[in-house]
Amino acid sequence: MQFLAELLILSYFSIHFAHAQNIFPDHFRLGVASASYQIEGGWNASDKGENIWDRLTHEHPEVIKDNSTGDVACDSYHLWKKDVEILKNLGVDYYRFSISWTRLLPTGRVDKISSDGLKYYNDLIDSLLENKIEPVVTLYHWDLPQALQYFGGWTNLITSDFFAQYARLVFSRFGDRVKTWITINEPYSICETTYGDFQGAPLIHSPGIGDYLCGKTILVAHSKAFHIYDKEFREKQGGKIGITIDTIWAEPRTNKSEDVEAAEREMQMSFGWWAHPIFSTNGDYPEIMKSRIEERSRQENFVESRLPSFTKEEILNLRGSADFLGLNHYNTKLISNTEFPIGEPSFQKDKGTSAFQDPNWKPNKHTVPWGFRKLLNWIKREYDNPLVYITENGFPDEGQLQDVGRVIFHKEMMKAMLQAIGDGCNIQSYTVWSIMDNMEWRDGYTIKFGLYQVDFNNPNRTRTPKASAKFFKTVIETRTIPENITMFIE
Ligand SMILES: *[C@@H]1O[C@H](CO)[C@@H](O)[C@H](O)[C@H]1NC(C)=O
Ligand SMILES: *[C@@H]1O[C@H](CO)[C@@H](O)[C@H](O)[C@H]1NC(C)=O
Ligand SMILES: *[C@@H]1O[C@H](CO)[C@@H](O)[C@H](O)[C@H]1NC(C)=O
Ligand SMILES: *[C@@H]1O[C@H](CO)[C@@H](O)[C@H](O)[C@H]1NC(C)=O
């Protein structure tokens, strides 16, 4: 009798446990994201100032794959009520969007505040709250005021002061209602993809130099905004503030020790560049980053390291300057050790690594759930299990309504994340990039990430739900990842 009871209890738990792997923990939050330049349009509406993406797309249309601009994009500047409608229909817990710096401050400075800019974000925030959707706000998602680019933008440390003033204004105007702040979105892309790889605004080619100057300013800017919030607003407003860092998972290409070390170096230098100063016990850049760049700079006849050092005070101000680590993750790559001859400096040469995506990965090279799980565990080990919000995860395709690839991607990635939570990782939210198709930077409108399709040929920019929207709505309703996805696909 006792044996039978035990067997029953055991089988109950094993069934329950198998099921639990697809169920989100209590209080886990699900949402979607966008960014001002990619959706708002209204590039010159009212008194909005020009930003570096307006400038780039207007002066160098050939840099954008389809020669397009974000002048109109999804026209969310005019159609934001439609956005709230589709968010409500999805049932999301929160909506992550960014504030366009020059819509609020046309010159980038706080001496001139746009009343229409204030009204736009006030209306959006109020409407989200009326519909029980929490606003999660990014202060900087790549659209730097052109006025600040004239004197060097992020390569000039003074930009951190302008950012701090902008941040204080935003907290004071919206912080009574916004309780989750992200200072900077994707520092790697802001500094490396632009100054290092020459792939985005401000389109200045300065590898191994401009990228590192930019990196220092971005980190200092983040810490200034954090401490302003902490000292002047936290007590009254009671919110949280963090940073969003983008990274691949770096898997060694072979089991040879040089490749295993190269993959670890890739993680330390691409991700640790940003995470180590804020989330590690010692602070500052990772040791390997400092020593490699210093050594190579010496070989290249520089009199000091190309990596600008932090002062003692900057190191202390950065260390611990986040309530959470926002993580954007899109790809896993295979990394091998590569020796580059001395020549023109670059971040890649400083790292001494090469990256490769395996086209034979299943279900496809964009969907590598085991890489995501390994990344989350690496973060847990490396930074003493910080609070992590997944602030972006997404899948590119051509924009079809039957977006099976996207459904499979989010299903598999969310499962891998739940496994990582089972491994003990402290992850509390998952954000789909993106609520709708939008202006995908240098790719223009050629690749799509949305749960909703946007008709860019219709002045109404009609939003239509894809299979992935129906899938994600069900996930949110049931707080469960369905194993069988055929019901979402026609
Ligand atoms: C705004 O930009 C559009 C082009 O996107 C142009 O046709 C229009 O004249 C501009 N409006 C103002 C007020 O400058
Ligand atoms: C973009 O512009 C370039 C040069 O102006 C032109 O050669 C190319 O055909 C254009 N591409 C598209 C998709 O319009
Ligand atoms: C490396 O070794 C592990 C464990 O022995 C094995 O599972 C993995 O496939 C190997 N990876 C490569 C790239 O050979
Ligand atoms: C745009 O929306 C308006 C109002 O709903 C409608 O009257 C109009 O026909 C639509 N235009 C197009 C091109 O679909």
Quick one: which ligand is closest to 44's CA?
1
Our answer on whether the CB atom of 458 is closer than 6 Å to any ligand 4 atom is: yes
Quick one: which ligand is closest to 77's CA?
1
Span from the CA of 65 to the centroid of ligand 2 (angstroms): 8
Nearest residue by C-alpha to atom 13 in ligand 2: 66
In a domain, 33, yes or no: no
Residue 105 sits in a domain of what CATH number?
3.20.20.80
Span from the CA of 445 to the centroid of ligand 2 (angstroms): 14
Our answer on whether the CB atom of 257 is closer than 6 Å to any ligand 3 atom is: no
| H runs (alpha helix) in 158-311 | 159-174, 187-188, 210-228, 234-237, 257-266, 272-279, 287-299
In a domain, 119, yes or no: yes
Exposed, middle or buried: residue 12 (CB in 10 Å: 0-12, 13-18, 19+)? exposed
Pocket test for ligand 3, best of 251, 253, 255, 335 (most atoms within 8 A of CB): 255
253 Cβ neighbours under 8 A, 6+ residues apart: 259, 263, 334, 335, 336, 356
Nearest residue by C-alpha to atom 1 in ligand 1: 44
In a domain, 458, yes or no: no
**Rounded to an integer, what distance in angstroms lies between the CA atom of residue 125 and that of residue 239?**
15
Span from the CA of 425 to the centroid of ligand 3 (angstroms): 24
Our answer on whether the CB atom of 460 is closer than 6 Å to any ligand 4 atom is: yes
In a domain, 271, yes or no: yes
pLDDT digits (tens, 9 = 90+) for 140-160: 999 999 999 999 999 999 999
Domain span including residue 62: 55-66+81-387+408-429
Helix, strand, coil fractions of the chain, as percent rounded to 5: 45, 15, 40
Mean predicted confidence (pLDDT) in 288-309: 98
pLDDT for position 21: 83
Task: Report DSSP letters for 116-137, one per residue.
Answer: HHHHHHHHHHHHHHHTT-EEEE
pLDDT digits (tens, 9 = 90+) for 306-331: 999 999 999 999 999 999 999 999 99
Nearest residue by C-alpha to atom 12 in ligand 2: 66
10 versus 356: which is more confidently predicted? 356
Our answer on whether the CB atom of 457 is closer than 6 Å to any ligand 4 atom is: no
In a domain, 444, yes or no: no
pLDDT digits (tens, 9 = 90+) for 179-195: 999 999 999 999 999 99
**Rounded to an integer, what distance in angstroms lies between the CA atom of residue 368 and that of residue 413?**
8
In a domain, 107, yes or no: yes
Mean predicted confidence (pLDDT) in 223-239: 98
Span from the CA of 458 to the centroid of ligand 4 (angstroms): 9
Quick one: which ligand is closest to 63's CA?
2
In a domain, 72, yes or no: no
Span from the CA of 428 to the centroid of ligand 2 (angstroms): 44
Can you tell me which atom of ligand 4 is nearest the CA of 460? 1
Residue 110 three-state SS: coil
Quick one: which ligand is closest to 71's CA?
1
Mean predicted confidence (pLDDT) in 336-346: 97
Mean predicted confidence (pLDDT) in 98-126: 98
Our answer on whether the CB atom of 67 is closer than 6 Å to any ligand 3 atom is: no
Pocket test for ligand 4, best of 78, 460, 464 (most atoms within 8 A of CB): 460
Span from the CA of 460 to the centroid of ligand 4 (angstroms): 6
* Kind and range of the H or E run holding 245: strand 240-246
Span from the CA of 62 to the centroid of ligand 2 (angstroms): 6
pLDDT digits (tens, 9 = 90+) for 34-65: 999 999 999 999 999 999 999 999 999 999 99
Which sequence positions are flagged as catalytic? 186, 392
In a domain, 191, yes or no: yes
Pocket test for ligand 1, best of 40, 43, 44 (most atoms within 8 A of CB): 44
Pocket test for ligand 2, best of 57, 62, 69 (most atoms within 8 A of CB): 62
Mean predicted confidence (pLDDT) in 127-139: 99
Report the mean per-residue pLDDT for the chain: 95
Span from the CA of 355 to the centroid of ligand 3 (angstroms): 18
pLDDT for position 6: 47
Mean predicted confidence (pLDDT) in 83-111: 98
Residue 11 has pLDDT above 60, yes or no: no
pLDDT for position 92: 99
Q: How many helices (H) and strands (E) does the chain have?
A: 19, 13
Q: What percent of the chain is modeled with pLDDT above 90?
A: 94
In the chain, how many domains are there? 1
What are 387's two structure tokens? 């609070």
Q: Lowest-confidence range among 7-16, 60-69, 301-310, 473-482?
A: 7-16
Mean predicted confidence (pLDDT) in 344-369: 94
Can you tell me which atom of ligand 1 is nearest the CA of 72? 5
